[in-house]
Structure 1
Amino acid sequence: MAGYRRKSKKSGQYFAVGFAVFLLVYIGSQLWGFANIKLRTEQVLDDTIYDFVRAEATVFRSEEIIPQTTSGVTVYNYADGEEVAKNQQVAAVYQDKTVSMVNNQIEQLQQELESLSKAQTVKATRYSAVTNLSSQINDQAGKIVDFAADGVVEGIAEQKEEFVSLLNRKKIALGEEDTFAERITQLNSEIAYLQKAKQKEKGVSIDAPAAGYFCKEVDGYESILTSEALEDIDYAGYQQIVNQQPQATGNTVGKIVKTHVWYLGVDLENSQAQKFEIDDNVKIDFKFANGQTVAAKVVNIIPDDERKNSVIIFECKDITDQLLNVRKQSVDIIFTTYSGLRISSKALYHEQNIPGVYVLDKTTIRFKPIEIIKDNGNYILCEPRAGTDDQHTLNRLDMVITESGGIEMKDGVLLDEDTVKGVESSNASS
């Protein structure tokens, strides 16, 4: 019995010691955490956000295919997106493939000529341009790297041309080259010689059947997804058209898009479709066509019989070489744009039911009232509240307080220099 009491006493001692250690660790961690609480701020920046609907879109155009009537090597006179007149020669077909090689040589020489001619514009103030040119060269090199990393081939040739042009201009600016006049003269001579050689070969002319915009790519939807097909169409008719398979086209040189006006159709659930009305102006972001964004207008809304879905038809008027190759693609339809000052949601306070932020103004805390434009969850777009004096008006680059660090948040509070030195600051997070 005595042995049991001794064991019980020892167990109590162990428990007391263990509890004391736990208590010390707990209190120490709390004190350490409190000591590391700091005043944190974020810088106010301008920002713009969008309300948009993402959808699968179908493009409708008025187009006419250009058939290739003879076999051989096709040499084009126009690039995608260039405007041509009716009966104008858009291409020629040659029996000898050397003509195509000559044409490529002419194109390369013309690109070099254009690059050198642009470089010649750097004049007496050339040395002041070196820093700017170096920055542009670095940016351009970065673009080429991004294109290569993303596996994007289209457009990389143009990026390379601009890169070479900038390098040539820097040579002039640094005085490494006084002039490219001799090389320019030589290039003009070579181009003239090759053009004469090309003209000696007899080629079969391929003429434009209509006026419009030239495009090499033919996808088989030219007679299906037409602008005319959208006239007086119902929901079932639209579904039937967009689900048709492309038609065989045979040998073609390309096509003519006959007008700059074209249409985009999207099928949306009514919860999304109700965001649009006839004559609404929106922007369409073709994010997979080199980031092309075009203005568009809602011209028709076609509901289904059960009122569950609607097709929205947009009218567009922008023409580019990339857009001419788009037929079916995911797009973002941007219908509302919000711009304002961006602050973290953590910085928002309400004083007497007025929303605002506390700003660290040197060593003084100031409350600055705001009007909320858009609450996006993690951050807010806002503007200064009307009628506020200059001292309490929120401005770009103000340092708003996101964590108080235990300091009283009250307008006019003064901080000591040590506290201000310990402030951690950053830009507004996304």
Structure 2
Amino acid sequence: MKESTLVNKVIIGVICAAVILYFAVYLALGFKPDLVTTTAYSYSVDIGTEASALLVRDEQVISTTGQYVDILLDEGEKVSKGGQIALIHASQDSLETRQTIQSLEAEIQQLEYSLSTGTQATNSSKLDEEVISSMVAIRSLAASGDLSTLEDSALHLRTMVFQRDYSYGNTEAATQIKQLISDKQKQLDSLNASLSQVSQTITSPASGCFSGEVDGFESLITPSMLSSLTMQQLNELLHKEVADPPAALGKVVTNNTWYLATLIDQPSVEGLLEGKTYKISFSDDYYGMISMNLERLVMENDQTMAIFSTNTNLSDTTLLRQQTVDIIAQQVEGIRIPRQALRVNTETVTDDQGNQSQVNSYGVYTVVGTQAEWQEVKVVYSDDDSFYLVQPVDETASSRLRAGDEVILNTTNITDGMVVRS
């Protein structure tokens, strides 16, 4: 009887221990943190070198002694030799009359457009939205004190209102527009007849691209000087304050090819080679990159001078002269991963002479099927904030990190081959 009681106690103890072990394992697995992963993908980074720069062009300055000038061309607009650039008026009244004529011509054109499109099928609700949007825009302009585009905005609102009347079946809308066009055309004819005070027409001395910006550098540096330009000369020009020439109306850029003379405060720039094309990023008044060819490279006195050229984007850059630019001399490509995904393994190795040293290897854990797999990588770029660009150590290995792989972020206690997903 006593032996039976002892056996029962042992059995009960074993069962209790098994139950406790079961719940301990269950709780441990239950509190195991969820697997956090992300997708690695291909990425490239442009590495720029900052430089001070001067834009150099073939330019002819146009001068005038007239006081009341009406410029006919927009900034960067192309003009042929002998083409009209400006009208010089003899009085302020004559200039104001000319400006009124331009406004009337724009109004008539807008009204004729409204008349020609009013009978077309139009979404009424969309027109209502455009009318309200135009009204809000005019109110915003008035509230901000910016009246530079108020006239155009009011004209656009009037056109939308006429088109809205059409869409709602207002049969008198067409008659009203035609009457407005007739009245304004009579006013325009009268003004043109009275405008006899234009004393001079300014024409272009050559074909090219017009600019109303004249800064005094036009005669200080030209493309023909760039082959012999020294670093000292460029440095002086970059810091030079030049007065605007008097009585300058504008200028014509006579050659589509323009140049960028840059000075870099480095003895050399990795990746810069004469004859190659590089992307240049500008700091002011122009947003975007321009591809330019490196014509000349000079390195001396811990500085680098690089002369670039291009025959594109001339009309977009006529207002630029002294600039701070970024020269994109390198582009790094790799696989982008979050910083927390990268792991460092440190091993102690012994050489043939018995000397020991520590060697670091870098890698990430990826999910392959249900297991974690170690992929050794090398870091090619770090942005110091959020990510690394990496490449596989062995590009030919069948098992290596690839774009599109699922990378583990919470890698604490993760080992190679460990089952991480059921």
Superposition map of 1:98-117 within 5 A? 98-102=96-100, 105-106=103-104, 109=107
Picking from 202, 209, 214, the partner of 1:218 is 214
Is 2:70 the counterpart of 1:64? no
Residues 190 and 275 of structure 1, relative CA distance in 2, 3 Å threshold: farther
Distance 1:387 1:117 in 2: 69
Distance 1:360 1:333 in 2: 41
CA offset at residue 316 of structure 1?
Answer: 2.4
| CA RMSD of superposed structures (Å) | 5.0
Is 2:320 the counterpart of 1:314? no
Q: Deviations over 1:20-49 (max 9, x none)?
A: xxxxxxxxxxxxxx9695533334455432
Q: Secondary structure at the match of 1:403?
A: coil
> Is the Cα–Cα contact under 8 Å of residues 84 and 204 in structure 2 kept in the other structure?
yes
Distance 2:250 2:100 in 1: 22
CA offset at residue 249 of structure 1?
Answer: 1.4
Instruction: Find the counterpart in structure 1 of residue 338 from structure 2.
Output: 344
Instruction: Find the counterpart in structure 1 of residue 3 from structure 2.
Output: none
> Is the Cα–Cα contact under 8 Å of residues 57 and 265 in structure 1 kept in the other structure?
yes
Distance 2:374 2:184 in 1: 67
CA offset at residue 289 of structure 1?
Answer: 1.7
CA offset at residue 234 of structure 1?
Answer: 2.7
CA offset at residue 387 of structure 1?
Answer: 6.0
The one-letter code matched in structure 2 to 1:402 is L
The one-letter code matched in structure 1 to 2:341 is A
Unaligned runs of 5+ in 2: 1-29, 348-360
Q: Deviations over 1:283-313 (max 9, x none)?
A: 1111322413211111112344xx4222111
The one-letter code matched in structure 2 to 1:284 is I
Distance 1:368 1:188 in 2: 78
The one-letter code matched in structure 2 to 1:381 is L
The one-letter code matched in structure 2 to 1:413 is V
Instruction: Find the counterpart in structure 1 of residue 388 from structure 2.
Output: 380
CA offset at residue 413 of structure 1?
Answer: 1.9
Distance 1:284 1:394 in 2: 29
Residues 209 and 189 of structure 1, relative CA distance in 2, 3 Å threshold: farther
Give the share of equivalent positions with the same residue, in percent.
Answer: 20
CA offset at residue 106 of structure 1?
Answer: 4.8
The one-letter code matched in structure 1 to 2:96 is T
Distance 1:296 1:114 in 2: 45
> Is the Cα–Cα contact under 8 Å of residues 263 and 316 in structure 1 kept in the other structure?
yes
> Is the Cα–Cα contact under 8 Å of residues 209 and 315 in structure 2 kept in the other structure?
no
Distance 2:319 2:421 in 1: 62
CA offset at residue 210 of structure 1?
Answer: 1.6
Q: Secondary structure at the match of 2:228?
A: coil
Residues 275 and 243 of structure 1, relative CA distance in 2, 3 Å threshold: same
Instruction: Find the counterpart in structure 2 of residue 323 from structure 1.
Output: 317
The one-letter code matched in structure 1 to 2:320 is V
> Is the Cα–Cα contact under 8 Å of residues 372 and 380 in structure 1 kept in the other structure?
no
Q: Secondary structure at the match of 1:324?
A: coil
Q: Deviations over 1:202-246 (max 9, x none)?
A: 422111122110001111111112212223223333334444442
Distance 1:227 1:259 in 2: 10
Picking from 393, 398, 409, the partner of 1:402 is 409
The one-letter code matched in structure 2 to 1:84 is V
Instruction: Find the counterpart in structure 2 of residue 367 from structure 1.
Output: 373
Q: Deviations over 1:306-364 (max 9, x none)?
A: x4222111112223544111110111111223455421132135899784442487xx3
CA offset at residue 82 of structure 1?
Answer: 0.9
Residues 391 and 280 of structure 1, relative CA distance in 2, 3 Å threshold: closer
Instruction: Find the counterpart in structure 2 of residue 413 from structure 1.
Output: 419
Aligned length: 350
User: Normalized against structure 1, the TM-score is what?
Assistant: 0.64
Is 2:97 the counterpart of 1:91? no
Distance 1:337 1:214 in 2: 36
Residues 366 and 78 of structure 1, relative CA distance in 2, 3 Å threshold: farther
Superposition map of 1:267-346 within 5 A? 267-273=263-269, 275-304=271-300, 307-346=301-340
Larger Rg: 2
Residues 356 and 109 of structure 1, relative CA distance in 2, 3 Å threshold: farther
The one-letter code matched in structure 2 to 1:264 is L
User: Normalized against structure 2, the TM-score is what?
Assistant: 0.65
Picking from 194, 204, 207, the partner of 2:203 is 207
Distance 1:370 1:118 in 2: 69
Residues 393 and 82 of structure 1, relative CA distance in 2, 3 Å threshold: same
Picking from 242, 245, 252, the partner of 1:249 is 245
Picking from 233, 236, 251, the partner of 2:229 is 233
> Is the Cα–Cα contact under 8 Å of residues 358 and 409 in structure 1 kept in the other structure?
no
Is 2:261 the counterpart of 1:265? yes
Distance 1:349 1:274 in 2: 30
Distance 1:114 1:372 in 2: 66
Residues 177 and 372 of structure 1, relative CA distance in 2, 3 Å threshold: farther
The one-letter code matched in structure 2 to 1:344 is P
The one-letter code matched in structure 1 to 2:274 is I
Distance 1:390 1:123 in 2: 62
Q: Secondary structure at the match of 2:225?
A: helix
Distance 1:85 1:260 in 2: 13
